[in-house]
Amino acid sequence: MHDLDQMPGHLIRRLQQIAVAVFHAEVEAVGFDMTPVQFAALVRVSENPGIDQITLAGLIAYDRTTIAGVVDRLVQKGFLSRAVSEKDRRAKVLHMTDTGNEALTRLRPAVDKAQDVMLSGLDRQEAEDFMRLLHKATEAVNGLSRAPLRSASKAAEKT
């Protein structure tokens, strides 16, 4: 199996590359400048107000050294607020701002559309199969990266 085009890793990289481009295009069309990673972080914070950075990273499988920069940019855009936790002075807790909630509302349709575009080459049944296999493949090897996906378990809700 020495044909590059038949290697899963090569095809996955390519699809990810296209997915990011599609995301940017759709999001820009509604007047925002946001990356897929920033969007995912925003969604998770809105679902878990008061979450700390490490727990957030686990929820989306980001490396802990990556999450800081992502949050930085969201704070700078005025979408998130960041404050030292009262319960653990090492931790910083995150909350949505009004601007952030507004942005999320306006972004969702664009992001949904981007998902459709990514899979536009597949019919309904194929897309469903593909998603199922993606899920299954990903779960089986979740622990193999430095930043595994972690369940929310103790996702916060306080300042």
Helix (H) or strand (E) holding 21: helix 8-29
Measured CA to CA, the distance from residue 113 to residue 26 in angstroms comes to 7
Kindly tell me which residue out of 68, 149, 152, 155 binds a copy of itself, with binding defined by CB under 8 A: 149
Between residues 65 and 105, which has the closer beta carbon with respect to DNA? 65
Measured CA to CA, the distance from residue 105 to residue 86 in angstroms comes to 30
| Sign of the four-CA dihedral 20, 22, 28, 32 | negative
The contact pattern for DNA, residues 57-96, with x = CB under 7 A and - = no contact, is -----xxxxx-xxxx-x-----------x--xxxxxx---
Report the site for a copy of itself in 108-137 (rule: CB under 8 A): 108, 111-112, 114-115, 117-122, 126-127, 129-131, 133-137
Between residues 24 and 85, which has the closer beta carbon with respect to a copy of itself? 24
CA-closest candidate to residue 134, choices 144, 142, 145: 142
Q: Are 75 and 95 in contact (CB under 8 A)?
A: no
Q: Measured from the CB of residue 15, what is the shortest distance to DNA in angstroms? A: 11
The contact pattern for DNA, residues 92-111, with x = CB under 7 A and - = no contact, is xx------------------
